[in-house]
Each structure stands twice: as structure tokens, then as C-alpha cells.
Structure 1
Amino acid sequence: MQINVNTDRTIQNHQGLDEHVESVVRGSIDRFGDHITSVEVHLSNENKEKHADGGNSVMMEARVRGYQPIVIHDHSDDLRQSIKNAGGKLARALDSAIGRLQDKNKHATPAVDDPLSDKHLTDS
């Protein structure tokens, strides 16, 4: 699973921030790793003219095999808290979406005849 971190001009992107985002994302959704090809993370500050915390926004978009992309948003005064909240939201959204996808695939698979059940019917 590839994780890409993007920031606007109001957020200083540095290796520590990238590592924190990747750690939160992997910790939140690693169990879905076989289903996800990539995650795009966009960080911004809505109070751009102030260049200070207060309107931090996180958008995460997970690309899921066989399903439409899953997108979530979170806003918080604290950027790290917003990243953590977004990771939790993404995990819940993926849990729901992948569950629906698995249910759909399970119902789409034709039932296989069980030869033992036919024998049981003819023996009666």
C-alpha cells in the first residue's frame, strides 16, 4: 500500500510529518492492506492568512480494489489530532465498504452442488 502525503503552502511538510501520517494511516488501516492500492492524504490549514493552527483540515482518499475510492475529511485545531481522527474515520469507512464488497462477492458466486446432499435426498 502506497501512502502519499500532500500539503498546501500553509503546512510545513517535513519528514517527521510524513512519518507521523504514514504511521497513523498504517496503524488504522493496515488490516485492509490486501484491498487497498494507495492512500492520498491532503493536509491544509483553512486559516491560510494567519499561518497558525486553528483550521487544520485532513482529507484521506483510499483506493480500494474492486470498489470506488473512499474519501473522508476531518477538521481540528490540532493537526496531529486531525490526522488521528481521520485515520479512525477512514478505518470505519473501509470496514463498512469492504464488508459490503465481500457480501456482494459472496452473493454473486454461484452455489456449488454438494454431492452428499443429493445422496442424502435419494437415500430417504
Structure 2
Amino acid sequence: MKVQINTDKNIEGSARLESYFAAETEKSLDRFQDKITRVEIHFGDENGEKFSLHDKKCVIEVRPVKLQPITVTEHAESLEKAFSGALAKAKKSLTTTFEKIKEH
């Protein structure tokens, strides 16, 4: 499973930010490791310089093997909260998807 981190022009991407979020993603989605080819994480600040609550956005796109990509979005006041919310949604969606496949 490859983890790719992308940021918009309003978020400064650093090696530390990338390694932290990649490690958290791998740890959280570890049980799906053999069923996922790639995870793309997109961070954005929708208001740029202006202050606003819930203006940080995290979009996670998970690419399961031989299935359509699963995309989830979360808005929050910080990148960490947006990321953890989106990661929880992605994990739930993957669990549901693979359970449905198992039933057939």
C-alpha cells in the first residue's frame, strides 16, 4: 500500500507532516494492507489567509484492488481533526465494502 500526501497552496507540506500522516494511515488501515494499492490524502485550507471555523479539508481516496476508488471528505478547524475524521470514514467505508464482498 502506497500512501501519497498532497497539499494545496495554503498548506505548507513538510517531510515531517508527510511522515506523520503516512504512518498514521498505514497503522489505521493495516488490516486492509493486501486489499489496497494506494491511498491519496489531499489537504486544503479553503479560506487561505482568512480565519474561519471548519475551513481545513482532508480528502482521502483509497484505491482497493479491482474495485472503484473510495473517496471521503472531512472539514474541521485543524488538519489533524480533519485527517482523523476522514480516516475514520475511510476505515468504516472499507470495512463495509469488504464485508459486502465477503457475503457474496
TM over 0.5: yes
Q: Distance in 1 between matches of 2:13 and 2:19?
A: 11
Question: Partner residue of 2:100?
Answer: 100
Deviation string 1:52-109 (CA, Å, 9 cap, x unpaired) is 88510000000001211111000100111111111111110100011112223xxxxx
* Matching of residues 76-91 of structure 1 within 5 Å: 76-91=76-91
Counterpart code for 1:43: F
Equivalenced residues, count: 104
Unaligned runs of 5+ in 2: none
Counterpart code for 2:55: G
Q: Distance in 1 between matches of 2:65 and 2:103?
A: 15
Q: Show structure 1 runs of 4+ deviating over 3 A.
A: 51-54
Question: Partner residue of 1:115?
Answer: none
Higher strand proportion (structure 1 or 2): 2
Per mean C-alpha deviation after superposition, the further-off stretch among 70-79 and 41-50 is 41-50
Change (3 A) 1:53 1:16: farther
State the 1:28 CA deviation: 1.6
State the 1:40 CA deviation: 0.7
Larger radius of gyration: 1
Question: Partner residue of 1:23?
Answer: 23
Unaligned runs of 5+ in 1: 105-124
